[in-house]
Structure 1
Amino acid sequence: MEKHSAPAVRRRDRRGRGIRGPLLPPGAPAHRTRAQVFDDLVLDVVELLERRWSAQLSGTEFAVEEVPPSDPAPWESDGVPLGRCFPAESGQPARVVVYRRPVELRAADDADRADLVRDVVVEQVAHLLARAPEEIDPQYDGG
Protein backbone atom coordinates (compact mmCIF):
# COMPACT_ATOMS: atom_id res chain seq x y z
CA MET A 1 0.00 0.00 0.00
CA GLU A 2 1.40 3.34 -1.08
CA LYS A 3 1.31 6.38 1.07
CA HIS A 4 0.65 9.72 -0.60
CA SER A 5 2.44 12.54 1.08
CA ALA A 6 1.22 16.10 0.91
CA PRO A 7 2.91 18.16 -1.78
CA ALA A 8 5.84 20.23 -0.57
CA VAL A 9 5.05 23.85 0.14
CA ARG A 10 7.14 26.23 -1.92
CA ARG A 11 8.80 28.87 0.17
CA ARG A 12 11.12 30.23 -2.50
CA ASP A 13 10.86 31.15 -6.14
CA ARG A 14 11.31 28.43 -8.74
CA ARG A 15 15.08 28.86 -8.95
CA GLY A 16 15.38 28.51 -5.18
CA ARG A 17 16.99 31.88 -4.56
CA GLY A 18 14.06 33.61 -2.87
CA ILE A 19 13.52 37.30 -2.72
CA ARG A 20 16.83 39.12 -2.59
CA GLY A 21 15.64 42.54 -1.47
CA PRO A 22 14.10 45.69 -2.82
CA LEU A 23 14.90 46.67 -6.38
CA LEU A 24 15.58 50.26 -5.39
CA PRO A 25 16.80 51.64 -2.09
CA PRO A 26 14.24 53.77 -0.21
CA GLY A 27 16.21 56.99 -0.83
CA ALA A 28 16.18 56.65 -4.64
CA PRO A 29 13.82 59.03 -6.49
CA ALA A 30 12.26 56.17 -8.45
CA HIS A 31 11.31 54.50 -5.18
CA ARG A 32 8.40 56.93 -4.78
CA THR A 33 5.07 55.93 -6.24
CA ARG A 34 3.29 57.99 -8.88
CA ALA A 35 0.65 58.90 -6.29
CA GLN A 36 3.32 60.22 -3.90
CA VAL A 37 4.94 62.29 -6.65
CA PHE A 38 1.51 63.68 -7.62
CA ASP A 39 0.75 64.58 -3.99
CA ASP A 40 4.04 66.50 -3.87
CA LEU A 41 3.10 68.46 -7.00
CA VAL A 42 -0.19 69.52 -5.41
CA LEU A 43 1.54 70.45 -2.14
CA ASP A 44 4.09 72.58 -4.02
CA VAL A 45 1.32 74.57 -5.71
CA VAL A 46 -0.60 74.94 -2.44
CA GLU A 47 2.52 76.29 -0.71
CA LEU A 48 2.98 78.88 -3.46
CA LEU A 49 -0.63 80.01 -3.22
CA GLU A 50 -0.67 80.10 0.59
CA ARG A 51 2.23 82.57 0.58
CA ARG A 52 0.05 85.11 -1.17
CA TRP A 53 -3.45 84.09 -0.05
CA SER A 54 -2.82 82.74 3.45
CA ALA A 55 -5.61 84.78 5.09
CA GLN A 56 -8.23 83.77 2.50
CA LEU A 57 -7.14 80.11 2.44
CA SER A 58 -6.91 79.74 6.21
CA GLY A 59 -8.61 76.49 7.19
CA THR A 60 -9.04 75.33 3.59
CA GLU A 61 -8.26 71.66 3.09
CA PHE A 62 -6.53 70.41 -0.04
CA ALA A 63 -6.90 66.78 -1.08
CA VAL A 64 -6.03 64.38 -3.87
CA GLU A 65 -8.43 61.63 -4.86
CA GLU A 66 -7.92 58.98 -7.52
CA VAL A 67 -11.05 59.67 -9.57
CA PRO A 68 -14.12 61.87 -9.23
CA PRO A 69 -17.34 60.35 -7.95
CA SER A 70 -19.61 59.01 -10.66
CA ASP A 71 -22.30 61.61 -9.99
CA PRO A 72 -21.25 64.87 -11.65
CA ALA A 73 -22.20 68.21 -10.20
CA PRO A 74 -25.01 70.03 -12.08
CA TRP A 75 -22.55 72.50 -13.65
CA GLU A 76 -20.19 69.74 -14.89
CA SER A 77 -21.53 68.82 -18.26
CA ASP A 78 -18.35 68.64 -20.31
CA GLY A 79 -16.39 65.50 -19.49
CA VAL A 80 -14.58 64.28 -16.43
CA PRO A 81 -13.60 67.01 -13.95
CA LEU A 82 -9.94 67.42 -13.04
CA GLY A 83 -10.75 69.04 -9.70
CA ARG A 84 -13.52 70.44 -7.55
CA CYS A 85 -13.91 72.98 -4.80
CA PHE A 86 -16.39 72.77 -1.98
CA PRO A 87 -17.15 75.97 -0.04
CA ALA A 88 -17.22 75.93 3.73
CA GLU A 89 -20.65 75.04 5.10
CA SER A 90 -22.28 73.52 8.17
CA GLY A 91 -19.08 73.70 10.20
CA GLN A 92 -17.05 71.94 7.50
CA PRO A 93 -13.99 73.75 6.14
CA ALA A 94 -13.67 74.72 2.48
CA ARG A 95 -12.05 71.98 0.44
CA VAL A 96 -10.21 71.77 -2.88
CA VAL A 97 -9.86 68.32 -4.45
CA VAL A 98 -7.64 67.37 -7.39
CA TYR A 99 -8.39 64.10 -9.20
CA ARG A 100 -5.12 62.31 -9.94
CA ARG A 101 -6.06 59.84 -12.68
CA PRO A 102 -7.89 62.28 -15.00
CA VAL A 103 -5.02 64.78 -14.67
CA GLU A 104 -2.40 62.11 -15.39
CA LEU A 105 -4.33 60.85 -18.42
CA ARG A 106 -4.45 64.33 -19.94
CA ALA A 107 -0.78 65.15 -19.35
CA ALA A 108 1.69 64.37 -22.13
CA ASP A 109 4.77 64.23 -19.87
CA ASP A 110 6.04 65.14 -16.40
CA ALA A 111 6.36 68.85 -17.16
CA ASP A 112 2.87 68.95 -18.67
CA ARG A 113 1.50 67.14 -15.60
CA ALA A 114 3.10 69.71 -13.26
CA ASP A 115 1.62 72.58 -15.33
CA LEU A 116 -1.79 70.93 -15.40
CA VAL A 117 -1.77 70.37 -11.62
CA ARG A 118 -0.90 74.03 -11.12
CA ASP A 119 -3.70 75.16 -13.45
CA VAL A 120 -6.28 72.90 -11.77
CA VAL A 121 -5.40 74.05 -8.25
CA VAL A 122 -5.33 77.71 -9.29
CA GLU A 123 -8.70 77.41 -11.06
CA GLN A 124 -10.33 75.72 -8.07
CA VAL A 125 -8.92 78.28 -5.61
CA ALA A 126 -10.09 81.08 -7.91
CA HIS A 127 -13.57 79.57 -7.98
CA LEU A 128 -13.54 79.18 -4.21
CA LEU A 129 -12.46 82.80 -3.64
CA ALA A 130 -14.66 84.19 -6.47
CA ARG A 131 -11.70 85.70 -8.28
CA ALA A 132 -10.07 85.35 -11.69
CA PRO A 133 -7.38 82.65 -11.95
CA GLU A 134 -4.93 85.31 -13.21
CA GLU A 135 -5.46 87.21 -9.97
CA ILE A 136 -4.74 84.10 -7.88
CA ASP A 137 -1.56 83.26 -9.83
CA PRO A 138 -0.06 85.84 -12.22
CA GLN A 139 1.71 83.01 -14.11
CA TYR A 140 -1.60 81.27 -14.84
CA ASP A 141 -2.00 80.83 -18.59
CA GLY A 142 -5.14 78.69 -18.70
CA GLY A 143 -3.60 76.50 -21.37
Structure 2
Amino acid sequence: MPPRPIEPRPRHRDRHGRGMRGPVAPPQVPLSVSRSESFRDLVRDSVERLEHRWPQLAEVDFMVMDVPNPQDDSVPLGSSVPADKDHPARILVYRRPIEIRAKSRDDCAMLVHEVVVEQVAELLGLAPESVDPRYGQD
Protein backbone atom coordinates (compact mmCIF):
# COMPACT_ATOMS: atom_id res chain seq x y z
CA MET A 1 0.00 0.00 0.00
CA PRO A 2 1.47 3.35 -1.01
CA PRO A 3 1.96 5.90 1.73
CA ARG A 4 -0.81 8.43 2.16
CA PRO A 5 0.19 11.92 1.15
CA ILE A 6 0.64 14.19 4.10
CA GLU A 7 -2.03 16.85 4.22
CA PRO A 8 -0.56 20.31 4.62
CA ARG A 9 -1.29 22.07 7.85
CA PRO A 10 -3.69 24.92 7.44
CA ARG A 11 -1.64 28.07 7.13
CA HIS A 12 -2.43 30.92 9.36
CA ARG A 13 -1.76 34.42 8.33
CA ASP A 14 -0.10 35.04 11.65
CA ARG A 15 2.43 32.25 12.07
CA HIS A 16 3.63 33.36 15.52
CA GLY A 17 0.20 33.64 17.10
CA ARG A 18 0.38 37.35 17.79
CA GLY A 19 -2.80 38.45 16.05
CA MET A 20 -3.47 41.96 14.91
CA ARG A 21 -1.25 44.47 16.63
CA GLY A 22 -3.56 47.45 16.37
CA PRO A 23 -5.49 49.56 13.93
CA VAL A 24 -3.72 50.87 10.86
CA ALA A 25 -5.24 54.32 11.26
CA PRO A 26 -7.17 56.09 14.01
CA PRO A 27 -10.95 55.61 13.81
CA GLN A 28 -11.63 59.21 12.80
CA VAL A 29 -9.40 58.92 9.72
CA PRO A 30 -10.86 57.08 6.73
CA LEU A 31 -8.57 54.37 5.42
CA SER A 32 -9.44 55.17 1.86
CA VAL A 33 -11.58 57.76 0.20
CA SER A 34 -12.38 57.16 -3.43
CA ARG A 35 -11.99 59.87 -6.03
CA SER A 36 -15.74 60.04 -6.51
CA GLU A 37 -16.32 60.53 -2.76
CA SER A 38 -13.65 63.22 -2.66
CA PHE A 39 -15.24 64.95 -5.66
CA ARG A 40 -18.69 64.82 -4.03
CA ASP A 41 -17.18 66.51 -0.99
CA LEU A 42 -15.83 69.31 -3.20
CA VAL A 43 -19.28 69.86 -4.73
CA ARG A 44 -20.90 69.79 -1.27
CA ASP A 45 -18.41 72.37 0.04
CA SER A 46 -19.08 74.65 -2.90
CA VAL A 47 -22.86 74.38 -2.46
CA GLU A 48 -22.59 75.10 1.26
CA ARG A 49 -20.60 78.27 0.48
CA LEU A 50 -23.35 79.46 -1.85
CA GLU A 51 -26.32 78.46 0.35
CA HIS A 52 -25.36 81.09 2.93
CA ARG A 53 -25.90 83.78 0.32
CA TRP A 54 -28.72 82.09 -1.64
CA PRO A 55 -31.08 80.17 0.71
CA GLN A 56 -33.32 79.13 -2.19
CA LEU A 57 -30.60 76.66 -3.22
CA ALA A 58 -31.82 74.34 -0.46
CA GLU A 59 -34.62 73.35 -2.86
CA VAL A 60 -32.20 72.48 -5.69
CA ASP A 61 -30.84 68.95 -6.13
CA PHE A 62 -27.10 68.90 -6.79
CA MET A 63 -25.98 65.72 -8.48
CA VAL A 64 -22.58 64.37 -9.53
CA MET A 65 -22.34 62.21 -12.62
CA ASP A 66 -19.19 60.63 -13.99
CA VAL A 67 -19.62 61.70 -17.61
CA PRO A 68 -22.25 63.60 -19.59
CA ASN A 69 -24.41 61.94 -22.21
CA PRO A 70 -22.76 62.07 -25.63
CA GLN A 71 -23.83 65.26 -27.41
CA ASP A 72 -21.90 67.53 -29.71
CA ASP A 73 -18.18 67.96 -30.13
CA SER A 74 -17.92 69.82 -26.83
CA VAL A 75 -17.93 68.17 -23.42
CA PRO A 76 -19.83 70.12 -20.76
CA LEU A 77 -18.53 70.38 -17.21
CA GLY A 78 -22.00 70.85 -15.77
CA SER A 79 -25.62 71.44 -16.65
CA SER A 80 -28.77 72.72 -15.01
CA VAL A 81 -32.33 71.49 -15.36
CA PRO A 82 -35.12 73.85 -14.27
CA ALA A 83 -37.85 72.63 -11.95
CA ASP A 84 -41.03 71.17 -13.36
CA LYS A 85 -44.20 69.92 -11.72
CA ASP A 86 -42.72 66.48 -10.92
CA HIS A 87 -39.09 67.26 -10.09
CA PRO A 88 -37.21 70.04 -8.33
CA ALA A 89 -34.51 71.98 -10.14
CA ARG A 90 -31.29 70.02 -10.63
CA ILE A 91 -27.70 70.94 -11.20
CA LEU A 92 -25.44 68.24 -12.62
CA VAL A 93 -21.68 68.38 -12.23
CA TYR A 94 -19.64 65.98 -14.37
CA ARG A 95 -16.70 64.49 -12.50
CA ARG A 96 -14.41 63.04 -15.19
CA PRO A 97 -14.26 66.10 -17.50
CA ILE A 98 -13.40 68.31 -14.52
CA GLU A 99 -10.78 65.90 -13.16
CA ILE A 100 -9.14 65.68 -16.59
CA ARG A 101 -8.83 69.46 -16.82
CA ALA A 102 -7.53 69.97 -13.26
CA LYS A 103 -3.83 69.57 -12.53
CA SER A 104 -4.12 69.28 -8.74
CA ARG A 105 -6.72 68.93 -6.00
CA ASP A 106 -6.73 72.72 -5.50
CA ASP A 107 -7.32 73.26 -9.23
CA CYS A 108 -10.12 70.71 -9.09
CA ALA A 109 -11.75 72.46 -6.11
CA MET A 110 -11.53 75.83 -7.87
CA LEU A 111 -12.93 74.43 -11.12
CA VAL A 112 -15.77 72.65 -9.30
CA HIS A 113 -16.73 75.88 -7.57
CA GLU A 114 -16.68 77.80 -10.86
CA VAL A 115 -18.88 75.20 -12.53
CA VAL A 116 -21.35 75.20 -9.62
CA VAL A 117 -21.48 79.03 -9.63
CA GLU A 118 -22.04 79.10 -13.41
CA GLN A 119 -24.84 76.55 -13.22
CA VAL A 120 -26.53 78.31 -10.28
CA ALA A 121 -26.29 81.59 -12.19
CA GLU A 122 -27.86 79.99 -15.25
CA LEU A 123 -30.64 78.47 -13.15
CA LEU A 124 -31.39 81.76 -11.38
CA GLY A 125 -30.98 83.87 -14.52
CA LEU A 126 -28.16 85.96 -13.04
CA ALA A 127 -24.56 86.73 -13.87
CA PRO A 128 -21.99 84.46 -12.17
CA GLU A 129 -20.39 87.52 -10.53
CA SER A 130 -23.65 88.31 -8.75
CA VAL A 131 -23.99 84.73 -7.47
CA ASP A 132 -20.44 84.74 -6.06
CA PRO A 133 -18.55 88.04 -6.02
CA ARG A 134 -15.22 86.14 -5.99
CA TYR A 135 -16.07 84.30 -9.23
CA GLY A 136 -13.17 84.37 -11.68
CA GLN A 137 -10.73 86.00 -9.28
CA ASP A 138 -8.75 82.87 -8.39
Question: Same fold, TM exceeding 0.5?
Answer: yes
* CA drift at 1:31: 3.3
Provide structure 1 residue ranges, at least 5 long, that are not aligned to the other structure.
Answer: none
Find the residue that maps to 2:59 and give its secondary structure: coil
| Count of aligned positions | 136
> Which of these residues, 100, 106, 124, is aligned with residue 129 of structure 1?
124
Provide structure 2 residue ranges, at least 5 long, that are not aligned to the other structure.
Answer: none
Residues 67, 95 of structure 2: 8 Å contact kept? no
Residue 49 of structure 1 corresponds to 50
* CA drift at 1:8: 6.8
* CA drift at 1:138: 0.9
* CA drift at 1:35: 2.8
Give 1:2-81 correspondences, 5 Å limit.
Answer: 3=4, 12=13, 23-28=24-29, 31-33=31-33, 34-55=35-56, 57-65=57-65, 67-69=66-68, 71-73=69-71, 77-79=73-75, 81=76
> Which of these residues, 92, 102, 106, is aligned with residue 111 of structure 1?
106
Residue 82 of structure 1 corresponds to 77
Cα RMSD (Å):
3.0
Find the residue that maps to 2:79 and give its secondary structure: strand
Structure 1 residues 136, 77: CA separation in 2 closer, same or farther (over 3 Å shift)? farther
Residues 12, 19 of structure 1: 8 Å contact kept? no
Residue 96 of structure 2 corresponds to 101
Residues 21-79 of structure 1: CA deviation (Å, up to 9, x unaligned): 65433323x63513333222211111111111113x241111222x124x335xx5413
Distance 1:36 1:111 in 2: 16
Residues 67, 96 of structure 2: 8 Å contact kept? no
Residues 96-121 of structure 1: CA deviation (Å, up to 9, x unaligned): 12122221221111211111110011
